[in-house]
Each structure stands twice: as structure tokens, then as C-alpha cells.
Structure 1
Amino acid sequence: MTKIYNRDAFLENIARHLGRKRQTKKVERPNWHVSPQHSVLRGLSQDELVDILEKQCQEIHTAFKRTNIENLPKTLHDVLSTYKTKSMVVANDSRLKRFGLIPLFNSLKDEINIHLWEEANGKKNQLIAEQADVGISFSEITLAESGTVTLFINKNHGRSISLMPKSYIALIPKSTLVPRLTQATERIHNQVKNGEQVPSCISFVTGPSNSADIEMNLIVGVHGPMHATYIVIEDA
């Protein structure tokens, strides 16, 4: 068991600054009579969630594609051609093989500089991502309501893949779709509760980079990818 040092002194200091005594008894979780966060989009099928995601992609300036595992290589190749890709950085994910993308990458080696994220390369991964035309990774959980992909960041999947290249492509197995953030956080919570390994860094990415905090003018591509494409894959 991990030993926590100076915990009591730390908590006493917080309580003192809040002007009250430290809470030492267990806090009972309240039993809410209404939980609207659970009712939004509840009961929808995966196909219905895909339709909602497609509609939301129009709002977040994100291209949207539907395909199946058999046609995924061609779909991805078409998107790469649209972006006139000369270099790309890809999360080193076991699903690349399962979804039939390794042969595609091998066939493109003479046209595109393809870099798989490798822990051994250290900082070099980030430098390559900074110069890449395209970053590609799989979504672990996909939020239909907001058009958000959830990325589990680990030694084979650097955060820079979705942040630094000019364009970002999210590969979205249809089975990863959930209605909204409520279900995504529940799934992550249950993974932790069940003792499953969950990365310390989880990124929620919604379309290309954009900012509307200056005079309320929407500007796309301020501090990250200027373009994004979501490819939903029929995987069931």
C-alpha cells in the first residue's frame, strides 16, 4: 500500500484557510432525486449515435466518413490524399494490424514519411509530430453529443499526435460511441474500480484547434491542427 506523507498536516492547513474544522468523518454520497445527465440521448442505438455524431461534426468543422474494416484502408488513403500528406505520425496501436492498416502503410512508404510513435525515440517523437502533415490515432471512447474523441495517452501514443500536426485523423470504431461525457467518465471510473490499467493522461479532443475567446470570433487552427477528419468504422 502506498504511504502518504504529511497528509494530515496538509488537510489541516486547507481546513484552516477555509475557516472551519477539518472533516474527519466519511462523507455520504447524496442520493439525487433527478439525474438529467443520464437521460440525454438515453436508449439510442449505435447507428443513431453515429447519426448524431455526423451532425455534430458539421458544427465543429470536422470532416466525417463512414466505412467498414474491409474498406478502411481505401477510406484512409483517400483522406490522406485530400490532405496532400507527405509525412505523418501514428499511434503505435495494436488495432492498426487488426483493422488492416499495416499493408496500406507499407504501400505508402515511398510516398509518405510514416513515423510510428516509439517510446525509445523519446523527444524525437514530438519533434517529428511538430513537422508532420497528419497525426492519426484511435478513439477509445467517442462522445456523440459533442463530437469528442477520448484518447488514452501512453508510451505508444503521445499527446502530440493530436496536437502538433497540421491535420488530425481520428479512427473511431463504432463500438466506442456513447451518448455524452457522462457515460465516458462512468466507463473510465468503472475501469479504475475494476483494477484495470488506465493512463494518467486522458485527452478529450473535439475537432480541429479553434478559439473564440477574442471578441467572440471563431478562429480555427490557432494552436493545433487546422483540419480534422473522423472516420467511423463498422467493427461489430
Structure 2
Amino acid sequence: MTIQNRDQFLNTIANSLGRPVRTKVERPAWKYLPQHEVLKDASQDELVEVLKKQCQNIHTVCLETTTANLANTLHQVVTDFGGKSVVAWKDERFQKYGLSQLMEFWPESGIEFYEWDEKNPEENIRQAEKANIGITISEITLAESASAVLYSHPNRGRTMNFLPEKSIVLIPKSSIVPRMTQAARQIHNQIEQGEQVPSCILFMSGPSNSADIEMVLIVGVHGPIKATYIIIEDQ
């Protein structure tokens, strides 16, 4: 795309303001940066406690487990959610966490399992829509708001975050940061380093909650009606 008449347009505005065209905007030097002070000295264990406490406020179950026991913990949550059908991203980290055998076991035990397939977009949506449970992995996790940051990807579809009735989010302990400030910085650094940033970055804070109408809380209007976070000790 070619920008036309830009200089003429900018000169007209600058003349109206009585000053020359500014080609560079200097970043202001703020005297106070309170957004960097919240929980800045908290240890990873302390951030976990903040996250767990906030999960209570957003109606989200928060569990802790080790990598070795993750498969058992995940299967128990799936069972508690009623089993039926599970849809998950196609993500090499599931294998890293030792979940491949569990996902192969589910169909044998009567639980339908579907892995996201970028070559079948319509089937992906159909499976996500009918799924009882969706399983995703948080890239960055905000302790202050108990928000999981989910990156879209050809093998990690966006509808996974909205259509399944219930949501299970795996939270690597190493992904937990104090708040939005640190998440924004990480994403900014990715861009600065020339990394590919997803077209959709979702900040998910538990199940869907809305109190827009007469301040009456309704769960599940825009997404899952139940959510469980599983914190994985990966450090």
C-alpha cells in the first residue's frame, strides 16, 4: 500500500497548530511508575499463593501438581468434569509433560478425544463446539488477576477458549508473573526481537462471568461455565 499526500496532510495540520511537523515523539520520562512496584519482590512461591487466592474470587479451582503426577491430576479433573468428550491443542508440550499415554487412554475408557488439526478447520470448530472439556496451556500467567495468557496458533485454535463447556488450563509455575505489566513487557520484547506474535492473544480469567444486566452474575455467557487451573511445578 502506498501512502499518498502524507506530507501535504501533515504540513496542513502543523501550520494550523503553528509549529513545524514533528517526525519523532520522545517517550516521556515518568516520575512515578507504580505498575512496576506491585509484587516486584515476590518469590515464585509467593506469586503462586496470590494466584490461588485470586482464583477463589473468580470461581476457578486451582490445583498444584508435579510433572510426574500431572497425568493423574489431569485425569481426575477430567473425571470430575464428567468426562464425555475432550478437545486439546496439538502441542508438543503435552508430550513433554508425559500426557500422550493419557490422551491415548481416554478413548479406550469411553471419553472422546480430539486433537486440533490445522488442516480441518471446520471439523475443529465442530469438535470444540460439542466438547465437554477443552485443555490449553498458559504462556504467561498473571498472579494478580489469575489470568492465563493463551496464544493462538494454527495448531492452537481460538475457538478452544470459548466453545467447550468447561476449561482446563495447564499453568507452568515458571510462567507466573506479578501482573499485566510483566506480560506486556514480555510480548513487547518478543516484537522487539523480531519474533512472530500471534494474531490473537487472550487473557482468560477463569470461567465466563457477566453482570452487565442489573448486576446479576451470569456464568457461561461468553465462554466456559467452569474452569480449573493446574499449576505444574516445572522449576
Fold equivalence (TM over 0.5) = yes
Supply the distance in 1 between the matched residues of 2:118 and 2:36 (Cα, whole angstroms): 38
Supply the distance in 1 between the matched residues of 2:83 and 2:7 (Cα, whole angstroms): 52
Which sections of structure 2, spanning at least 5 residues, go unmatched? none
Supply the distance in 2 between the matched residues of 1:133 and 1:7 (Cα, whole angstroms): 52
Matched, 1:5 2:2: yes
Contact 1:143 1:180 in 2 (8 A): yes
Deviation (angstroms), 1:12: 3.7
Match of 2:187 in 1: 188
Deviation (angstroms), 1:167: 0.2
Contact 1:134 1:165 in 2 (8 A): yes
Match of 2:167 in 1: 168
List per-residue Cα deviations over 1:65-114 (Å, max 9, x = no partner). 00010000000000000011211110111100000000111111222111
SS in 2 for 1:34: coil
Contact 1:209 1:220 in 2 (8 A): yes
Match of 1:116 in 2: 115
Structure exhibiting the larger radius of gyration computed from Cα positions: 2
Supply the distance in 1 between the matched residues of 2:40 and 2:162 (Cα, whole angstroms): 31
Match of 1:179 in 2: 178
Supply the distance in 1 between the matched residues of 2:26 and 2:169 (Cα, whole angstroms): 40
Supply the distance in 1 between the matched residues of 2:210 and 2:43 (Cα, whole angstroms): 33
Contact 1:171 1:231 in 2 (8 A): yes
Aligned AA for 2:162? Answer: L
Aligned AA for 2:75? Answer: H
Supply the distance in 2 between the matched residues of 1:211 and 1:52 (Cα, whole angstroms): 23
Work out the number of aligned pairs and report it: 230
Supply the distance in 1 between the matched residues of 2:138 and 2:62 (Cα, whole angstroms): 14
The 3 A distance-change label for structure 1 pair 130 and 36 is same
SS in 1 for 2:119: helix
Supply the distance in 1 between the matched residues of 2:225 and 2:121 (Cα, whole angstroms): 25
Alignment of 1:132-151 (within 5 A): 132-151=131-150
Supply the distance in 1 between the matched residues of 2:180 and 2:6 (Cα, whole angstroms): 35
Q: 1:56 aligns with which of 54, 64, 73?
A: 54
The 3 A distance-change label for structure 1 pair 25 and 225 is same
Supply the distance in 1 between the matched residues of 2:4 and 2:88 (Cα, whole angstroms): 41
SS in 2 for 1:105: helix
Deviation (angstroms), 1:7: 6.2
The 3 A distance-change label for structure 1 pair 58 and 123 is same
Matched, 1:65 2:55: no
Supply the distance in 2 between the matched residues of 1:131 and 1:22 (Cα, whole angstroms): 60
Using the aligned pairs only, state the percent identity. 49
SS in 2 for 1:103: helix
TM-score (norm 2): 0.93
Supply the distance in 1 between the matched residues of 2:20 and 2:102 (Cα, whole angstroms): 60
Alignment of 1:1-236 (within 5 A): 4-6=1-3, 9=6, 12=9, 24-110=22-108, 111-236=110-235
The 3 A distance-change label for structure 1 pair 71 and 145 is same
Aligned AA for 2:64? Answer: R
SS in 2 for 1:44: coil
TM-score (norm 1): 0.92
List per-residue Cα deviations over 1:205-232 (Å, max 9, x = no partner). 1100110111111111112110000000
The 3 A distance-change label for structure 1 pair 10 and 59 is farther
Which sections of structure 1, spanning at least 5 residues, go unmatched? none
Supply the distance in 2 between the matched residues of 1:221 and 1:170 (Cα, whole angstroms): 16
- What is the RMSD computed on CA atoms of the aligned residues? 1.9
Supply the distance in 2 between the matched residues of 1:10 and 1:59 (Cα, whole angstroms): 52
